[in-house]
Amino acid sequence: MLSIETRERLVRGYERTHNAKMIAQAYGVSEREVYKLAAQMRETGSVEPRTGNCGRKPKLSEEDLERVDKAIQAQPDITFGELIRNLELDISESRLGRIVREKLGYSLKKKVIHASEQERPRCTGKASGMERTHERNTRRKAGFSG
């Protein structure tokens, strides 16, 4: 990688002579590099290395991350699907989950049964008719009587 001072001298030499091949040999770079640096100087006025313009752009902006964080703080048991629908995000649930864990620092907690939910038949051990029918059919297929 060339220093900024060397890049500037290279461009000044090219602007004086317009001989990219000679300048490239003198500085030990390719002709393509000479043309590229001269074009960059014309376009931006600088020959500093370009950084930050490459790679995949983030799916969620900083503003989106703040909205997600506020929504989670307001309703800690919200699902990723609800977040996507409520905030109108264009992202998959799995990607949102990764972002919530990695960028916002949240961890997922198993939902604990609250007192009001303990009255459900599923939680008290009372199975519904469909579950019993399914169990009975499973036993018959497996060769058990019952």
pLDDT in tens, 10-24: 999 999 999 999 999
Amino acid occupying residue 102:
E
Residue 86 vs residue 136, higher pLDDT: 86
Average pLDDT rounded to a whole number, residues 110-122: 61
Cα gap 102→68, rounded to integer Å: 13
Amino acid occupying residue 56:
R
Type and span of the H or E element at 70 = helix 62-74
pLDDT for 98-112, tens place per residue?
999 988 988 876 666
Residue 65 contacts residue 104 (beta carbons within 8 Å): yes
Cα gap 47→36, rounded to integer Å: 10
Burial class of residue 69 (count of CB atoms within 10 Å of its CB; 0-12, 13-18, 19+): middle
Residue 49 contacts residue 1 (beta carbons within 8 Å): yes
pLDDT at 137 over 70: no
Query: Residue 52 — pLDDT band, cuts 50, 70, 90?
Result: confident
Cβ within 8 Å of residue 103, ≥6 positions away: 65
Question: Tokens 């009975």 label which residue?
Answer: 136
